[in-house]
Amino acid sequence: MCACRCGIKVHLTNGEVRYIQGNPNHPINKGVLCAKGSAGIMQHNSPARLTKPLKRVGERGAGEFEEIEWEEAMEIATKWLGDVRSTAPEKLAFFTGRDQSQSLTGWWAKEFGTPNYAAHGGFCSVNMAAAGIYTIGSAFWEFSEPDWEHTKYFLMFGVAEDHDSNPIKRGLGELKGQGGKYISINPVRTGYAALADEWLGIKPGTDGLFVLALIHELLRAGKVDVEYLKRYSNAVNLVIQDGDEDGLFVRDEEGNELCWDVNLGKPVPSNGKDSSPALKGEFTLADGRIAKPVFHILAERYLEEKYSPDAVAEETGIDGATIKRIAAEMAHAAFEEELTLYIPWTDWCGRKHDKMVGRPVAMHAMRGISAHSNGFHTCRAIHVLQILLGSIDAPGGMRFKPPYPKGLDSMPKPTGMLKDIKPNTPLAGGHLGYVTAPEDLLVDDDGKPQRIDKAFSWDAPMSAHGLMHMVISNAWRGDPYPVDVLFLYMANMAWNSTMNTAETIKMLTDKDEETGEYKIPKIIYSDAYYSETVAFADLILPDTTYLERWDCISLLDRPICDADGPSDSIRQPVVKPNRDVRPFQDVIIELGARLGLPGLTNEGGEAKYPGGYSDYIINHERAPGVGLLAGWRGEDGDELGVGAPNKRQLEKYIANQCFWRMELAPEQRYFKTINKDYLEYAADMRFIGSAKPIIGQIYSEPMQKFRLAAQGKGEVQPPESHRKRVETYFDPLPIWYTPFENEQKGVEEFPMHALTQRPAAMYHSWGTQNAWLRQIHGSNNLHMSRKKAEKMGIENGDWVKVSSRNGEITVQVELMDGVNEDTVWTWNAIGKRSGAWNLEPDAKEAQEGFLLNHLIDERLPADEHGYAQSCSDPVTGQGAWFDVRVRVEKVNAKPNQRSEPVFETVKLPEGMQKRPDILRYGANFKKKGMSS
Amino acid sequence: MTMLPSSLPPKKLGLVIDLDICVGCHACAVNCKQWNTGGHSAPLTDHEPYGNDVFGVWFNRVHGYEVDDGKSGRAVYFPRSCLHCEDAPCVTVCPTGASYKRGEDGIVLVDHDKCIGCKLCSWSCPYGAREFDEDEGVMKKCTLCVDRVYNENLEEWERLPACVITCPAGARHFGDFADPNSDVSKMSAERGGYDLMPEMDTKPVNKYLPPRPRQLDEKPNQLLDAPEKGFLGWLDKVLS
């Protein structure tokens, strides 16, 4: 249902859903369930559900459709997709939203042969994923969790009320109970932040500077874990100081990274068992070159006065004394309250430790860091801080969830050079991955992007999740090339999941003047509900609700594991659809067979998985013995992780409450990056390529390689237009720069920041049409600081015009104390287009609700080369929708004032269920009791 | 007029609600709604569920407040439901005997067959905890999940009110306040559990735990010092 993926038990009475309960044995939620999960009955029975395949008959956007049979729908889709595949496969752009089947959709797109596939990570959290993987081999959000039980000092940066939902609530309850101190760094004090011992209402986009000031303080006072740095981080590595290899590591002939051994007075391999590495100094190598340890370079940088707490106070809005105190408290927790678990363990090079000594300082971060154009570096700064404290996967610190950590050498590289794209031919590898040098980019000899979203190009080299937010804009512009078919799944890209909504709608409906054809000629969309995007598609493939289909949360996708062990899960269909709809996964498996995709057809050309998705879950092997589910593999179901497909695997899962979990041995549970027993286990399970340690990358050599290319070194160099950008932002140590929007000409006219938050009770627009949840959040206001409003003469309930360089909206104000004075914010995805989602056209969501998205341009103004970069992080391409700057002005409300802009009411397709005027759900369950 | 039980019930079932860790996520309210819309007082009717003026019956509603505590201020979430008062004015005011307090465990319930929809009880409840079902013309309210806590079709661990079993933060607890050794009694005693609006003399059974004192800067705190001079001077000492 949502990305939290809790285990649920669905109770039925006479075939209807009576009650949905959290599964007490499930590793994610341990029996609890949030408001969204508890409102599943209304999600499942919503009158917004689509009922039959639809073919557009009116103009795009009007909502005029004709119902068609599935056979016709599949024939149309096969024709459109087949034409593209047999001529120019790159003319299919296939992008998916918040689904949990990326291990299928990505593989399907690879078999199809288009380079243009990604899911929604590009506008969600790729800054977190990429900064984590490039630095510590794991990341915030899905790949880790704070050690709630043990942490003494917990910092949470920029997390609204989600990501992840129930585990954080459970964890905060536990943390407060055991007496740990909790600091929330967030411009807004709601939800999780309300529980904090201390709330720091930081100015948006300045978290990185705050973190670097903490690092400044710790370095100044020597409060870092020197032993940890020497053994398990690249702090010791020698960095060449000049020449063609400037900034790269000193290596020996075998390619080992070297440190300076102070006893031997010469370079030796880094992190070796018996070395005595220098952390500071300047050393002359045998060939005369000069080199310095990473730690020396790091200290030189962050000890600069500009990173001192007093120097950053004005920019961050947090006074110097507070930053100094936080640094002191953090050091106290890490080094004076160190936490010992008496569990013997062995590190990667065989040193035996009789106990696990933890640094009980934990951190967690998400959207408030992620959605800024400086988010990658800010997130890296947080991880460097954690490495300096020695709290990485330590007791009381940030703990990693298997199959993570994974070193960069275990991560795939992206595939998709246009020269390799051939008709009717699969792609040679996966679409997404982690580049480590300019040679890995997807660019041609002139440096031109190869993908429709320009991922892995010089625009955003480390765009590990793609840039879904740029697909419509680029396809409309034909830059780098036009597409023929845009195929979207569960992504409300014509409304709340896009930047610049009003302009995006124009792009989707814009026609070529000469041919009269839409600029994006064919759009196929699959959704279970009548979301705003449906009206803009030409062919609709209606999906089921989450209770009507098989789903699989695979270790190959976005895993559900916890720090004490890997797990995966399925969901089985519990209710049969009462409409002519099909699970999207079944549909693309059948489409693949009709298209003759190699992985989906046998040698004779017949469908390889005639049983649909459940057949695929059981029988598909990604590599020999590796499939979607890790539990009960092997013909007899007695193999773990790796083994032949088991025909009865799903039965085994169902018998085990639909999940599989393997508990790590106590000695494997901490220090996973450097823990011999864990690393060997992970290699056996094929989580990682080999049991090599995953050394903390304080200094990112891959980044320096990109910077060198920008300085004119190496085979693959950026075009002139991109040199300055790449040189600036590919700093091998974390940097802080002001978010791009703050630098735009005329920004002084837009003095405030504007943010959105997701309410705990909603899961984007899919939740806001829910009959119960819309009674909790049925409309949204613009929240602003009471103090600030007073100065501006604005009162609670006033209407204001909010403008940015991109557009304006008119909305109603709600005042509060707990918000940074220079910031306004609202709830995300509550505003609806009138008529969509089968709500009454005059529903509050359409009258009072609004989107902030209209204010956010998906592109920056053209640079001095005339090129408009996307509004994204320059390293990862993460959509920087928290960068937006606005002006707020009071307006005189008209009679019956409603939020603006106003869009024409969209028509409802025929065949949709009638909205009830009154809902008596459950009346017929009375006294019947409950059966499962 | 309806009489309260003539002697104190042997059990005093109720809730402890921990305001220190409630994140205001509404899980309790919605899970309550889904259980109870098919339970003892079914349905929990919703009017205009997809219209402009949607409103429905909820036994539990969560409110958010900002409090000026003279320091940095704070946000507090406050879940509100029936407190199953010992001196329940909603019972004594009822003209038909529909509203009653159970003699065995103190749960306050409404017998819908006797309820005439006069709303006197909702006027008398100082907590606004009663919910009128306009469709059926009867008053409804929190039943403390009486159809769960004694339900032998459920496994023993599940015999808890829906709001308690679902609360993600663990902020809600159920038990017998007549037993001084019960978890809820002990928790309430340890954490200073308090009555809502005690001046109304309703003697609520449910207790709210106040937010714990914030760990602000009251701990004496030594700021970080740099005793060794020079660039990374401390490092020489560490490594020597």
Q: Is the pLDDT of residue A928 over 70?
A: no
Chain B nearest CA to A12, separation (Å): 11
- A-chain residues near B157 (CB < 8 A): 24
Per DSSP, the three-state class of A8 is strand
**Spatial separation of the C-alpha atoms in residues A845 and A851, rounded to whole Å:** 10
CB contact under 8 A, A280 and B68: no
Structure tokens belonging to residue A352: 């035996």
Distance of CA B119 to the CA centre of its chain: 23
Domains by residue range for chain A, with CATH: 128-403 (3.40.228.10), 748-891 (2.40.40.20)
**Averaged confidence pLDDT in chain B:** 94
Specify the pLDDT at position A319: 96
Specify the pLDDT at position A930: 45
Q: What is the pLDDT of residues A282-314, one digit of tens each?
A: 999 999 999 999 999 999 999 999 999 999 999
CB contact under 8 A, A818 and B215: no
CB contact under 8 A, A197 and B170: no
- Residue to mutate among A25, A772, A786, A834, with most B CBs inside 10 A, is A772
Comparing CA positions, the residue from A884, A873, A724 lying closest to residue A130 is A873
Structure tokens belonging to residue A626: 């590796």
Number of alpha carbons in the 13 Å side-chain half-sphere of residue B210: 12
Specify the pLDDT at position B221: 67
Comparing CA positions, the residue from A697, A696, A693, A695 lying closest to residue A676 is A693
Specify the pLDDT at position B71: 77
In angstroms, the Cα distances linking A2 to A43, A81, A646, A760 are: 12, 29, 28, 12
CB contact under 8 A, B169 and A172: yes
CB contact under 8 A, B29 and A817: no
CB contact under 8 A, A34 and B168: yes
pLDDT band at residue A369 using 50, 70 and 90 as cut-offs: very high
Structure tokens belonging to residue B114: 């006797």
- Closest residue of chain B to A303, computed from CA coordinates: B231
CB contact under 8 A, B73 and A922: no
Among the partner residues B37, B219, B239, nearest to A921 by beta-carbon distance = B37
- Closest residue of chain B to A221, computed from CA coordinates: B226
- Residue to mutate among B58, B166, B214, B239, with most A CBs inside 10 A, is B166
CB contact under 8 A, B52 and A34: no
* A823-827 and A752-757 strand pairing: parallel
- Closest residue of chain B to A11, computed from CA coordinates: B35
Instruction: Compute the residue count for chain A.
Output: 932
Least confident of A156-170, A266-280, A422-436, B148-162: A156-170
Specify the pLDDT at position B1: 73
**DSSP assignment letter at A916:** P
Specify the pLDDT at position B8: 87
**DSSP assignment letter at A917:** S
Per DSSP, the three-state class of A154 is strand
Among the partner residues B26, B153, B223, nearest to A761 by beta-carbon distance = B26
Chain A nearest CA to B73, separation (Å): 8
CB contact under 8 A, B168 and A165: yes
CA dihedral of residues A50, A51, A56, A58 (deg, nearest 10):
-80
**Spatial separation of the C-alpha atoms in residues A542 and A580, rounded to whole Å:** 8
Specify the pLDDT at position A929: 47
Q: Are B211 and B20 in contact (CB under 8 A)?
A: yes
Cis upstream peptide for A917 (omega within 30°): no
Among the partner residues A35, A170, A774, nearest to B169 by beta-carbon distance = A170
Q: Which of residues 47-66 of B touch A (CB under 8 A)?
A: 47-52, 54-56, 58, 64, 66
- Residue to mutate among A20, A847, A919, with most B CBs inside 10 A, is A919
Structure tokens belonging to residue B107: 């749960």
Chain B nearest CA to A907, separation (Å): 16
Amino acid at the residue A896 = N
**Spatial separation of the C-alpha atoms in residues A508 and A510, rounded to whole Å:** 6
CB contact under 8 A, B23 and A195: yes
- A-chain residues near B38 (CB < 8 A): 13, 18-19, 921-922, 925-926
Q: What is the pLDDT of residues B58-105, one digit of tens each?
A: 999 999 999 988 777 889 999 999 999 999 999 999 999 999 999 999
Give the helix/strand (H/E) hosting A363: strand A361-365
> Does ipTM exceed 0.85?
yes
Structure tokens belonging to residue A610: 């005639």
CB contact under 8 A, B75 and A174: no
Q: Classify residue A449 by burial, with Cβ atoms within 10 Å: 0-12, 13-18, 19+.
A: buried
- Closest residue of chain B to A43, computed from CA coordinates: B34
Q: Is the pLDDT of residue B222 over 90?
A: no
Specify the pLDDT at position A142: 85
Q: What is the pLDDT of residues B166-211, one digit of tens each?
A: 999 999 999 999 999 999 999 999 999 999 999 999 999 999 999 9
Cβ-Cβ contacts under 8 Å for A12 (sequence gap 6 or more): A18, A574, A575, A931, A932
CB-based contact (8 Å) between B137 and chain A? Answer: no
Q: Are B216 and A183 in contact (CB under 8 A)?
A: no
CB-based contact (8 Å) between B67 and chain A? Answer: no
Chain A nearest CA to B145, separation (Å): 13
Summarize the confidence of residues A854-874 as an average pLDDT: 97
- Residue to mutate among B20, B22, B23, B147, with most A CBs inside 10 A, is B23
Q: Is the pLDDT of residue B12 over 70?
A: yes
pLDDT band at residue A932 using 50, 70 and 90 as cut-offs: very low
**Spatial separation of the C-alpha atoms in residues A391 and A388, rounded to whole Å:** 8
Percentage of chain A exceeding pLDDT 70: 99
Please report the beta strands in B57-205, taking only residues with DSSP state E, as ranges in sequence order: 61-67, 74-80, 99-101, 108-110, 130-133, 138-141, 172-176
Chain B nearest CA to A416, separation (Å): 43
Specify the pLDDT at position B217: 57
Q: Are A324 and A221 in contact (CB under 8 A)?
A: no
- Closest residue of chain A to B28, computed from CA coordinates: A35
Specify the pLDDT at position A931: 41
Among the partner residues B48, B153, B223, nearest to A929 by beta-carbon distance = B153
CB-based contact (8 Å) between B214 and chain A? Answer: yes
Chain B nearest CA to A658, separation (Å): 19
Q: What is the greatest pairwise CA distance in chain B?
A: 87
Among the partner residues B48, B166, B239, nearest to A32 by beta-carbon distance = B166
Neighbours of B127 (CB within 10 A): 17
- A-chain residues near B73 (CB < 8 A): 817-818
CB contact under 8 A, B30 and A223: no
Among the partner residues B26, B168, B226, nearest to A221 by beta-carbon distance = B226
- A-chain residues near B219 (CB < 8 A): 329
∠ Cα B202 B205 B209 (to 5°) = 110
Percentage of chain A exceeding pLDDT 90: 95
Domains by residue range for chain B, with CATH: 13-209 (3.30.70.20)
Summarize the confidence of residues A874-903 as an average pLDDT: 97
- Closest residue of chain B to A220, computed from CA coordinates: B226
Give the helix/strand (H/E) hosting B147: helix B146-149
Summarize the confidence of residues A331-343 as an average pLDDT: 96
* A117-118 and A339-341 strand pairing: unpaired
Chain B nearest CA to A403, separation (Å): 26
CB contact under 8 A, B66 and A41: no
CA dihedral of residues A167, A168, A171, A175 (deg, nearest 10):
180
Cβ-Cβ contacts under 8 Å for A743 (sequence gap 6 or more): none
Number of alpha carbons in the 13 Å side-chain half-sphere of residue A537: 31
Q: Classify residue A299 by burial, with Cβ atoms within 10 Å: 0-12, 13-18, 19+.
A: buried
Specify the pLDDT at position A892: 96
Chain A nearest CA to B57, separation (Å): 10
Among the partner residues B50, B66, B224, nearest to A331 by beta-carbon distance = B224
Q: Is the pLDDT of residue A675 over 80?
A: yes
Q: What is the pLDDT of residues A583-608, one digit of tens each?
A: 999 999 999 999 999 999 999 999 99
Amino acid at the residue B133 = D
- Closest residue of chain B to A152, computed from CA coordinates: B215
Amino acid at the residue B193 = G
CB contact under 8 A, A296 and B232: yes
- Closest residue of chain B to A295, computed from CA coordinates: B232
Q: What is the pLDDT of residues A547-565, one digit of tens each?
A: 999 999 999 988 899 999 9
**Averaged confidence pLDDT in chain A:** 96
Q: How many helices (H) and strands (E) does chain A have?
A: 24, 36
CB-based contact (8 Å) between B3 and chain A? Answer: no
pLDDT band at residue B237 using 50, 70 and 90 as cut-offs: confident
Cβ-Cβ contacts under 8 Å for A754 (sequence gap 6 or more): A802, A804, A823, A824, A825, A852, A855, A884, A885, A886
CB contact under 8 A, B50 and A761: no
